[in-house]
Structure 1
Amino acid sequence: MKIPARPDEAKPLSHLTSSARDESFFLVRMLCVCPRAGARGAAAMLRLCASLPRRGVAWRPLCTLSNQTGFLGNPGVSASVTDVASLKEKCPAVVSSEPILRKCSIPIPKHLAPVQAWVESLKHYEARHVGLTDLHPDVFAVMPRVDILHTVAIWQKNFKRISYANTKTRAEMRGGGRKPWAQKGSGRARHGSIRSPLWRGGGVACGPRGPTSYYYMIPMKMRVLGLKVALTTKLAQDNLRVVDSLDMPTSDPQYLMDLARYRHWGESVLIVDVNDLPENIKAATRGLKTITVLPAVGLNVHSMLKYETLVLTLDTVAFLEEKLLWHDSRYRLLYPLQLPYSDFP
């Protein structure tokens, strides 16, 4: 016997039109999101849907029987505004009018793009931006690992440290060969030497025995990654400046200090070059404590963290990219039968 349905029982949605079915699915979805609303909340939502226009939010289905997802937008805006294809379109590339003075000679992975930086000149104050240069992203745009910086900085501080602290044991002290008093009969504690560590003026039991070396080594890849992270951090903090060369019109130190102050280089500057230094830059920095010149082969993490601004020449950038990127492919699965430094650039 078939039980008749109650008047308030929900009827199937097959007799409804597509628009009515979509509206019903929208209300069901809203009730599923807010199950605590109850009958009072359902009535409020029905009044809200009735008050909105047909093109509004309430009449846009969130999900239909064809598994197509709708978008909730403004009631007066057409659906083409929120088209997925329009969202996936790439923005047009910004073309700069400044010339690119240097491009990366080492191939860049397809999923990466070169990083650009301004190129300055030291010939006069106004030559602040003379062009652009491309920087390799695997050197100047790596993940900023602060733990790697800390590890490399502590290693660089301690690997050449030697402690010369030294103490004498009771055997190395002068005197103390005679027993101070008899073993028994005096009523005092028994002792065999006045140079015992228990005595004032005696030897040291477990003191330092220098010289002590604190040398240790960290992996080469960690050292290389420390240099990359330091260069990336300097560039991200706008403390990395690239110059075309170190040619200066004068050897006056005041000119270099005024130039650094005019271009906001900070309190301390580290200038790095791979070529022979010009005479003017050597004479200008000879007596300065806040501006230091360093060869590219001696660039290290400690120096980059010590100075506020890092100044590199174009030749130095190419030198660092060539040396640091060589380590990325240094170790292979099938190690060649040759010395590891035979292909060093």
Structure 2
Amino acid sequence: MLKNILDKSRQVVFPVARTLTRSSVHGNVVNESPAAVATPAGTKTPLILPQNYGEYAPVSRNTPRQAWIENTDAVQERKVGLIELHPDVFAAQPRVDIIQENVEWQRKYRYVSFAQTKTRAEVRGGGRKPWPQKGMGRARHGSIRSPLFKGGGVVHGPRSPTTHFYMLPFYKRVLGLTSTLSVKLAQDDLHIIENVDIPTKDGQFLKDLIAERNWGPSVLIVDEDHMFPANICQATDELGYVNLMPSFGLNVYSMLKHDTLVLTVAAVKHLEQRLLYQLNRSDAASKGGKFKLDQV
């Protein structure tokens, strides 16, 4: 049904050209077709963003995805447009096993164990030989701090600091992102907004907006730029369950940690561009080798 609406809307809004350019102000997407220029003053053209399949053709065109674009200038929800999502990024096969591997990898690569045991050389005491080597009929010992004795040292015990770092294969990291984005969209936990510009810096506005739109107990807001507007930064300071993140830092663990994922239009385009490049890059075979620090 959404596809039929989109096809009809294209005929009305984009009768001549479908060229879309991104404005330099706040990453808003602006239509520059002749139809948009000819619209009367005071009327806002619906924001309809078709998908460009020219550069990266999807593996399967039978599973297109579309989502509404929501407003952020008021608490009341208003659909300001429709966006097509690339099926290779937002309609991928949900590999739960790869998602789990990404979660375990992210939990372990930053974990350092500080468990520490002492060897026989570090345990206090035991410097004197407990009894003579011969003549007493007892076993030969040189120290009561031997691992054979109670209170002695420990052999092959944990030594701190011990890192649990390892690197997940490159394409498991890429597929983890596409699988998690697809699952979030399928479960209706992914929402797309115009931008992160809110009219006030009061945290109550953001509370009311989240409650009105039923965004869940924890929200992750993602934009393309790492510099967020002052209003949303101050509004989220007092809300521990709302976090901001740039799109280049988006990861599987953070998406699963938050119940609702909110992406701006600019963030969606940036994620599609980067993930589609990784999925279709010509040197994919070289990325399957051993991890290198300069690997991108």
- Bin of the TM-score, shorter chain as denominator length: 0.7 to 0.9
Identity across aligned pairs (percent)? 50
The answer to whether the 8 A contact 1:102-1:314 is kept is no
Q: 1: CA distance between counterparts of 2:228 and 2:48?
A: 21
Q: Which runs of 5+ in 1 are unaligned?
A: 1-90, 336-343
Q: 1: CA distance between counterparts of 2:141 and 2:58?
A: 77
The answer to whether the 8 A contact 2:223-2:247 is kept is yes
Correspondences of 1:134-153 after superposition (within 5 Å): 134-153=84-103
Q: 2: CA distance between counterparts of 1:103 and 1:191?
A: 81
Give the structure 1 partner of residue 121 of structure 2.
Answer: 171
Higher relative contact order (CA 8 A, sep 6+): 2
Correspondences of 1:24-39 after superposition (within 5 Å): none
Q: How many residues align?
A: 246
The TM-score normalised by the length of structure 1 is: 0.66
Q: 2:151 aligns with which of 189, 196, 201?
A: 201
| Aligned residues: CA RMSD | 2.4
Question: After superposition, what is the alpha-carbon deviation per residue over 1:17-75, rounded to whole angstroms, capped at 9, x for unaligned?
Answer: xxxxxxxxxxxxxxxxxxxxxxxxxxxxxxxxxxxxxxxxxxxxxxxxxxxxxxxxxxx
Q: For 2:235, what is the secondary structure of its paired residue?
A: helix
Give the structure 1 partner of residue 211 of structure 2.
Answer: 261
Structure 2 residue 54 is matched with structure 1 residue 102 = no
Question: After superposition, what is the alpha-carbon deviation per residue over 1:68-97, rounded to whole angstroms, capped at 9, x for unaligned?
Answer: xxxxxxxxxxxxxxxxxxxxxxx9x62257
Deviation, 1:315, is 0.1
Q: 2: CA distance between counterparts of 1:184 and 1:333?
A: 69
Deviation, 1:154, is 0.6
Q: 2: CA distance between counterparts of 1:333 and 1:227?
A: 17
- The answer to which structure has the higher strand fraction is 2
The answer to whether the 8 A contact 1:106-1:322 is kept is no
Runs of 4+ residues over 4 Å off in structure 1: 184-190, 332-335
Aligned residue identity for 1:204? V
Question: After superposition, what is the alpha-carbon deviation per residue over 1:221-259, rounded to whole angstroms, capped at 9, x for unaligned?
Answer: 110100000000000000000000111111111110111
Q: 2: CA distance between counterparts of 1:167 and 1:204?
A: 7
Larger Rg: 1
Structure 2 residue 237 is matched with structure 1 residue 286 = yes
Q: 2: CA distance between counterparts of 1:273 and 1:222?
A: 24
Question: After superposition, what is the alpha-carbon deviation per residue over 1:146-196, rounded to whole angstroms, capped at 9, x for unaligned?
Answer: 001001111111122221222221122233221112245556554321111
Correspondences of 1:179-328 after superposition (within 5 Å): 179-186=129-136, 190-275=140-225, 276-328=227-279
Q: Which runs of 5+ in 2 are unaligned?
A: 10-45, 287-295
The answer to whether the 8 A contact 1:100-1:134 is kept is no
Structure 2 residue 73 is matched with structure 1 residue 123 = yes
Q: 2: CA distance between counterparts of 1:106 and 1:271?
A: 27
Give the structure 2 partner of residue 160 of structure 1.
Answer: 110
Q: 2: CA distance between counterparts of 1:213 and 1:233?
A: 32
Deviation, 1:104, is 2.4
